[in-house]
Amino acid sequence: MTRHALLGCFALCAACGSTAGADAGTPPVPDSTIEQEAAGYQQFTRLDSSSFPTQAHQCGCDVNVYANARALPAYRAIGDAGVATAFPAGSMLVKEMLGANGQPDALTVMYKQPPGYDSAGHDWWWGQLAPDGGVAGSTGQVAFCLACHASAPRSDLAFGAANGR
């Protein structure tokens, strides 16, 4: 084998060794891109017909839930008897946390990263954001979020609006 062929094989093998994603090295989506998409959440499909009280997030507030187009089929399957749900990469779920005035005070966001981002967390990115998409709390691989959502493995760690979560 020639020196050029060996160098080519070495470069190819080095590129394949990435751990940024299981599908040939797809890197995770940057936080800033997720935050920007979350800022436009009101253009997503609203999944509840009326605001409902959440049982999570220690706010004791009403919420509305939104999903982008990538998340819709999997989200709508949550709760179907015997159906396991898996969200594709690029799925985004947004829970709008409403203040006493009925206006959003904060957002909690789930964004499905490419395979390999966080296998224990089903590759979800979690975030506490302001209604404009700016960071308002923890983001990324948030243990607090995973601790609660781990109770929903059949629905890829997502709760349906009907679950009141």
Q: What is the b/e burial string over 149-164, where b = at least 16 CB atoms within 10 angstroms of the residue's CB?
A: beebeebbbbbbbeee
End-to-end CA distance of the chain: 61
Dihedral pair phi/psi, residue 134, rounded to 5°: -70, 155
| 108 neighbors 148 (Cβ within 8 angstroms) | no
The model's pLDDT over 31-59, given as tens digits with 9 standing for 90+, comes to: 999 999 999 999 999 999 899 988 777 77
pLDDT at residue 5 above 50? no
Domains of the chain plus CATH, in order, are: 28-163 (3.50.70.20)
The model's pLDDT over 106-136, given as tens digits with 9 standing for 90+, comes to: 999 999 999 999 999 999 999 999 999 999 9
pTM exceeding 0.75: yes
DSSP H stretches of helix in the chain: 3-16, 31-39, 72-77, 143-149
| 45 neighbors 69 (Cβ within 8 angstroms) | yes
pLDDT at 84: 84
